[in-house]
Amino acid sequence: MVGPRPLTPDAGGDPACWANRVCPECGAFSADGYHRHGCPVAAGSEGMVASIEAVKADITELAVDAVVNAANSALAMGGGVDGAIHRAAGVRDLTAACAALGGCATGDAKATPGFALPARWIIHAVGPVWHGGDHGEAELLASCYRRSVEVADEIGARSVAFPAISTGVYGFPGDLAAEIAVGTLQDLETSVERVLLVAFDDHTLDRYQRLLRHPGPR
């Protein structure tokens, strides 16, 4: 893939400084901090995700390239995994970085640095609120996983950890959410090599493990 490539924002720096930078590798100007000009160094090898694993863990403790946050569309600090990620990353730094992104639509995802987290990046994905299933919830949740992996490709993350997006405060049924997560991730063309599906309880872990043992058709 020749796609956008990050200009290595300075974790801990002013998020406003990510934009309007010159590519250090080829000298091209980039208005949003990413290569979009076919610079050969942007080429990555794409295939399916080589490894998808389920783990029971606190996602804030994982030393992966990027952790995904179950965010809201304002990208304002909330509870659940979002609150935990903000506290572990540093509320002030992460709040400022999120504010500079100007919100995020449901089904979409945007990245910030990980600040004090072991992970270098946080990909903020906005899952749907469950309204009974007839309001495009499944498609929007699948879109969260797809967009998060696209953003991971843009920032060069090769290992990505996902929480069970939408299954907490947003009320998405856990079984269906797990099927969508696994099914979507197994079908993507990406340079991401390793995905961790992070369960916060045994029931969610068991769900992921069953699905990963019996993958659906590709």
State the residues that interact with ligand APR by CB under 6 A: 58-60, 70-72, 78-84, 127, 163-170, 198, 200, 204
Residue 195, judged by CB atoms within 10 A of its CB (0-12, 13-18, 19+), counts as: buried
Q: Is 16 helix (H, G, I), strand (E, B) or coil?
A: helix
Nearer to ligand APR, 47 or 79 (CB): 79
Nearer to ligand APR, 100 or 129 (CB): 129
Q: Given the residues 58, 65, 82, 108, select the one marked as catalytic.
A: 82
* Shortest reach from residue 62's CB to ligand APR, in Å: 9
* Shortest reach from residue 84's CB to ligand APR, in Å: 4
**113 phi and psi angles, rounded to 5 deg:** -60, 165
Beta-sheet strand order (sheet of 194-199): 51-56, 194-199, 159-162, 66-71, 121-126, 109-113
Nearer to ligand APR, 6 or 128 (CB): 128
- Active-site residue 82, yes or no? yes
* Shortest reach from residue 41's CB to ligand APR, in Å: 34
Nearer to ligand APR, 92 or 203 (CB): 203
* Shortest reach from residue 129's CB to ligand APR, in Å: 8
Residue 198, judged by CB atoms within 10 A of its CB (0-12, 13-18, 19+), counts as: buried
The set of catalytic residues is 82
